[in-house]
Structure formats: structure tokens, C-alpha cells
């Protein structure tokens, strides 16, 4: 039996507190077991507090300060409650909305959150069943609330859950609110400081009526209702991957006018164990396999999948061979951007006062398209909350058309202030109908875009390093890149080094430095002489460091698309090999 001697004394002391007053017996037993039998697990559970990153609070469920449980959720909610009271002291009644997805302990964590908010005198609007994260964002704005919380861990594995906090504009917490909430949470030294007892008079259930308001607003955004009516029988297969899109996405597609929407019935059942997939992540080809099989059976043209909280969208479309080809996040963002800007132009809606937004690791092809249409584009840090920040800052001054990020998140219109897979499903289907009206497929449109603007290929590699040691290793990797940056990658000179932590862009040829007008973040970018770009950043929500690779070449003749594509793929492989990244990556 291990007596805990291998554990850092400070970590052991933190753990022992969780076996005392204020903690339930089940928690105390689990902590005691880790102390006696699992020092490594104990260290990972208690070496830090869960913190708000780009996606809020997220972690493995279980006992510990670094875990998702009633106490970490309760303390986070108490800290948020305290902060809301400070920020909105002049309001007669502060109000919040709470939603949750299909993960394990979903109603339990949502209930704890409602308990603490209401016990602090805050009005709570609690959804009566699972709902997409974007509907939570919409509801905050629609109801005029000051904040909101959705219980979700997005597409993480089943053992995870999370807590996304939102501000009054419907976006996730950004600076200084995220930092200030953490300060409030850290000021709570004991779980006994949390107000746990629900005030039932301050909890109001919401449901179908909000669904109708949300879908009704999305429908007003449609740019081609006449085209949809003529192509309403386009075959669509949709899967919610056991998540919250199960009811809302088919409803929204029907509201837009699509009549041949087939759902993968085995995956329409909400289930936090995600029994039919290895991962409920629409970025993964395996997650769409059942939907693609069904699409072949019903002769559909389009396959769509959303993650558990329905904010990310995966797409598969037919290629010239009749097989289904999965689009990556950049390709979907490019197609949506091109369609939106072209249709706005055709409808006479481009006045010179519109804008789109993408993240710094998303394909530059989007910027090329925006320039072509005379539409301003902005780059932001990774995380949709930064896209929402720009929308908020320009509200009433410029019109937001759309935005997106390579990680399969997109938004059309500004009624929601987070990535929205519900509206994205509708618009991708609409874009497919528009292409059909021109006698084209989605892949035809993508090829036309590449011919006009140049062909881009991107790749994402992630190195996973879990726990305290992993976090330290990730920090060391970033530190080494800063101290010893490469001067040449794959026989191409590094011309520019951009460090978003210092806010500096260094021209290595002229040895000049210019400021980067974006918020600070631990991200490095290397721009090569041949136009390639490599971005490196630790994930804000997962124990990994991410490498984003982008290469580009001209495509003068559509018949050369396979040749150019293969050449770009080889360049990507050569860059990865030159950086010695093969092995240990996903």
C-alpha cells in the first residue's frame, strides 16, 4: 500500500482537505483511495485548480481541484455570482441562462449551477432538456441576461465534462472578465463559502418557445430561399453524434425548406458514452462513417455531423467518382465565405461597410476572397470568443457577415456570438442548393475557388502531453522555439517570425520589428520564403501542443488539381519531417 510519501507535500495537503468537513462521503473515499493507492492520479487531480481557457472550465470528471465535480462547479459558479454582483450592482435582478448537452452528469452539474446562482439571488433560466451551445448564446441576448453557462466538454472523450461561461453579449468570457472571475473563484478558500441551497422562486424553466425564436431568427438570414424551393429535395444525411443537434438541426433544415433530410437513427439518441463512435468529434473521419454509409443507401449528396454541443460541423460531399470526400475545417470555411460574399454581392448588399473574421491559424484563402469582394477581414487569436469580441466592438458601426476557424466552427449573422453548427448546417445545405442551380457540385465550386485564388493545403498535428509533467514539457517546447527559432525549414528560409506573446513580428531579412495588433497569447508563427506558414500553440482546453501547417501554389488549369494537390501534400510532409515531428502525434 502506498502511504502518499511519493506525493508533493503541498499536493497531499490539498487532497487531505477534501476528506474533511464540507465534502461528501463519496468524494472523501475517492480521495483517500488515491492517497493510499494512486499517487500519480492524486497529483494530477490536485496539482492545480481548473482554469478558464479558450473554452472555459473543462476536465476529467472525478474528485480533485483539477477535476470536474460538484465542488469545482459550485466554486466556479460562486465566483461568477460574486463577479456578476460587482459588475451589475445597479440592476434590480441579475439573470443568467443555463444549458447542458448530453454528457454524463449533465443535469447534475446544471442543477448545481442553478442552485448556486439562485441561492445568490440571481434569476436563472434553465433549459428543460439538452440544447445546443449556440442556442444558449442566443437565449442570453434574447432574454437580456447578464451571463450564461453551458455544461459541455464539446467533442472531448466521454470522461470529460466542462463549464462554458458567457457574458451579456452572448460570447464566452474574455479579458478582463475571464481573469477577474478566476480571481473571485480563487478568493473562495472553502467550499463552505459556496451558497448551495436553491431558491426555487428564482429558477424558471425554458424550452420549446426559445427553440422557435432561435430557428425563426436563423431563417431570416437565408440568402437563397427561391433556390432552396427549387432544389428542396437534395438528399441530406445528418448525424448529431448522440448530441444536442438531434432535434434542432433537422427542425432548422426543415424551416429553411429542405425536405429530404435523413438522420442516422442510432446516433440521434443522446448518450454521453457516445457508443457508436470512437470520438464524438466531426473532425474525425470515423465519426462520419455511419452517416456516409447511409448517404450511399439513400443516394444523398451531402453528409453533415455536429459535435455533442452542436457548435462544430463536419461535412462530407460527393467527388467526381461518386465517393464521399470529407472536407477539412478550412475548406468548409472557404466555401461558406465565398458563398456568403458572392450572394451578398449578387443581391446588392455589399456597401463597403461589411466585414468577416477568421483566426490567425485559419487559411489565408479566406482573406484573399474577402479582398476580392472588397470586404474587410480581421484576424483574431484562436478561440471564437475573440471573433465575438470584434463583432461586439464593431456593433452599430459595421455589418458582420460571417466568420470561422479551421477547427470546424463557423457563424453567420450576429444573433449568436459563438460558433453555431445549426445555422452552419442550414447555410451549407443552402450553398449546395445554390451550386446545384448552376449545375455544379460542392467540389466543383471548391475547384473554381482554387483556380481563381490559388490552391491552399493545410494540416494540423497535435502532440499530447497529459498531467503536470506534460504541461511542463509543452512549456519547454515553446521556450525552446523562442530561444532557438529555426532559420530554415524544408530548404526554405524563415522570413518572418511572429510572436503573439510579445506582440512582435520580426522581419528576419531586414532585422526589423513591427507590432502585432492582436491580444497577447502563447502562439508562434514562422512564415517561409516559399509562402508556407507554420503556427505553434498550446491548446487552451486540452493537454496538447498544436502545429498548424499551410502551403500554397497556383492552379492555372483545373485539370492539374490532382497534380498540384499531391505536390502540396508532399511539401507538407517534408516540412513535418524537417521539423522532426513524425511519431507521437495525432
**Residues annotated as part of the active site:** 154
Q: What are phi and psi of 519, to 5 degrees?
A: -55, 155
Strands 236-239 and 261-263: parallel
**Grid cell listed for 327:** 472536407
- Identify the CA nearest to 586 among candidates 544, 554, 551: 544
- Identify the CA nearest to 426 among candidates 53, 111, 132: 132
**Grid cell listed for 449:** 475557388
Residue 564 is inside which H or E element, if any?
A: helix 561-578
- State whether the Cα torsion 44-46-52-55 is positive or negative: positive
**Grid cell listed for 340:** 456568403
Report how far residue 556's alpha carbon sits from residue 256's, in angstroms, rounded to the nearest whole number. 37
Q: Are 177 and 167 in contact (CB under 8 A)?
A: yes
Only one residue has cell 502585432, namely 516
Only one residue has cell 445545405, namely 429
Reading phi first (left if > 0) and then psi (alpha if -120 to 50, else beta), residue 22 is in: left
DSSP 8-state assignment for residue 288: G
Q: Are 406 and 329 in contact (CB under 8 A)?
A: yes
**Grid cell listed for 26:** 463519496
**Grid cell listed for 248:** 434542432
Question: Rounded to whole angstroms, what are the CA distances from 500 to 13, 128, 264, 503, 513?
Answer: 37, 42, 43, 5, 13
Furthest CA-CA distance within the chain: 75
Report how far residue 446's alpha carbon sits from residue 428's, in angstroms, rounded to the nearest whole number. 13
Report how far residue 217's alpha carbon sits from residue 183's, in angstroms, rounded to the nearest whole number. 37
Q: What are phi and psi of 430, to 5 degrees?
A: -65, -40
Report how far residue 183's alpha carbon sits from residue 75's, in angstroms, rounded to the nearest whole number. 11
Query: How big is the chain, counted in residues?
Result: 586
Question: Rounded to whole angstroms, what are the CA distances from 73 to 49, 149, 191?
Answer: 11, 11, 11
Does residue 358 sit in helix, strand or coil? strand
Question: Rounded to whole angstroms, what are the CA distances from 185 to 102, 254, 528?
Answer: 26, 43, 43
- Identify the CA nearest to 172 among candidates 48, 57, 329: 57
- State whether the Cα torsion 71-540-479-576 is positive or negative: positive
Instruction: Give, in degrees to the nearest 5, the angle at Cα 156 between 150 and 157.
Output: 125
Question: Any residues with CB less than 8 A from the CB of 578 and at least 6 apart, and which?
Answer: 489, 490
H-type alpha helices, 151-200: 177-186
Does residue 539 sit in helix, strand or coil? coil
Strands 492-499 and 488-489: antiparallel
Amino acid at each position: 500500500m502506498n502511504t502518499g510519501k511519493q506525493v508533493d507535500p503541498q499536493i497531499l495537503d490539498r487532497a487531505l482537505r477534501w476528506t474533511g468537513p464540507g465534502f461528501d462521503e463519496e468524494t472523501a473515499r475517492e480521495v483517500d483511495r488515491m492517497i493510499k493507492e494512486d499517487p500519480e492520479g492524486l497529483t494530477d487531480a490536485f496539482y492545480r485548480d481548473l482554469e478558464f481557457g479558450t473554452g472555459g472550465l473543462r476536465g476529467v470528471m472525478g474528485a480533485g481541484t483539477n477535476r470536474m465535480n460538484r465542488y469545482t462547479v459550485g466554486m466556479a459558479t460562486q465566483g461568477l455570482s460574486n463577479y456578476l454582483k460587482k459588475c451589475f450592482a445597479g440592476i434590480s435582478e441579475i439573470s443568467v441562462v443555463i444549458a447542458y448537452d448530453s454528457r454524463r452528469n449533465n443535469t447534475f452539474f446544471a442543477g448545481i449551477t442553478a442552485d448556486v446562482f439562485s441561492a445568490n439571488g440571481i434569476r436563472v433560466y434553465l433549459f428543460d432538456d439538452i440544447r445546443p451551445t449556440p442556442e444558449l448564446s442566443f437565449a442570453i441576448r434574447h432574454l437580456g441576461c447578464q451571463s450564461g453557462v453551458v455544461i459541455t466538454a464539446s467533442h472531448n472523450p466521454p470522461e470529460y465534462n466542462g463549464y462554458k461561461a458567457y457574458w451579456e453579449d452572448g460570447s464566452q468570457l474574455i479579458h478582463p472578465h475571464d481573469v477577474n472571475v478566476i480571481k473571485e473563484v480563487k478568493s473562495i478558500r472553502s467550499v463552505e463559502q459556496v451558497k448551495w441551497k436553491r431558491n426555487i422562486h428564482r429558477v424558471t424553466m425554458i424550452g420549446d418557445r426559445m427553440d422557435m425564436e432561435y430557428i425563426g431568427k436563423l431563417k431570416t438570414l437565408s440568402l437563397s430561399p427561391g433556390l432552396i424551393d427549387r432544389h428542396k429535395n437534395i438528399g441530406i444525411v445528418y448525424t448529431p453524434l448522440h448530441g444536442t443537434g438531434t432535434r434542432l438541426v433537422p427542425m432548422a433544415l426543415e424551416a429553411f425548406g429542405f425536405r429530404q433530410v435523413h438522420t442516422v437513427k442510432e446516433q440521434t439518441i443522446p448518450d454521453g458514452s457516445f457508443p457508436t463512435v470512437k470520438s464524438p468529434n466531426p473532425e474525425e473521419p470515423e465519426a462520419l462513417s455511419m452517416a456516409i454509409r447511409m448517404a450511399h443507401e439513400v443516394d444523398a449528396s451531402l453528409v453533415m455531423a455536429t459535435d455533442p454541443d452542436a457548435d462544430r460541423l463536419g461535412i462530407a460531399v460527393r467527388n467526381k467518382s461518386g465517393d464521399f470526400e470529407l472536407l477539412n475545417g478550412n475548406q468548409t470555411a472557404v466555401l461558406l465565405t465565398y458563398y456568403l460574399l458572392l450572394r451578398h454581392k449578387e443581391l446588392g448588399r455589399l456597401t463597403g461597410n461589411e466585414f468577416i473574421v477568421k483566426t490567425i491559424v485559419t487559411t489565408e484563402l479566406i482573406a484573399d476572397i474577402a479582398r476580392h469582394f472588397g470586404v474587410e477581414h480581421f484576424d483574431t487569436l484562436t478561440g471564437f470568443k475573440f471573433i465575438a469580441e470584434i463583432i461586439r466592438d464593431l456593433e452599430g458601426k459595421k455589418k458582420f457577415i460571417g466568420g470561422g476557424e479551421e477547427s470546424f466552427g463557423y457563424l453567420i449573422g450576429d444573433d449568436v456570438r459563438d460558433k453555431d453548427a445549426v445555422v452552419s448546417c442550414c447555410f451549407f445545405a443552402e450553398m449546395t442548393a445554390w451550386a446545384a442551380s448552376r449545375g455544379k457540385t460542392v467540389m466543383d465550386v471548391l475547384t473554381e475557388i482554387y483556380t481563381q485564388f490559388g490552391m491552399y493545403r493545410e494540416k494540423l498535428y497535435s502532440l499530447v502531453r497529459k498531467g503536470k509533467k506534460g504541461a511542463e514539457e509543452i512549456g519547454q517546447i515553446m521556450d525552446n522555439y523562442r530561444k532557438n527559432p529555426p532559420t530554415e525549414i524544408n530548404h526554405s528560409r524563415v522570413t518572418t517570425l511572429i510572436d503573439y506573446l510579445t506582440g512582435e513580428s520580426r522581419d528576419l531579412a531586414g532585422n526589423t520589428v513591427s507590432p502585432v495588433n492582436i491580444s497577447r497569447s502563447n502562439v508562434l508563427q514562422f512564415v517561409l520564403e516559399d509562402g508556407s506558414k507554420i503556427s505553434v500553440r498550446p491548446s487552451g482546453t486540452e493537454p496538447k501542443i498544436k502545429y498548424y501547417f499551410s502551403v500554397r501554389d497556383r492552379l492555372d488549369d483545373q485539370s492539374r488539381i490532382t497534380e498540384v494537390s499531391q505536390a502540396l501534400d508532399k511539401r507538407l510532409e517534408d516540412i513535418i519531417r524537417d521539423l522532426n515531428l513524425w511519431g507521437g502525434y495525432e
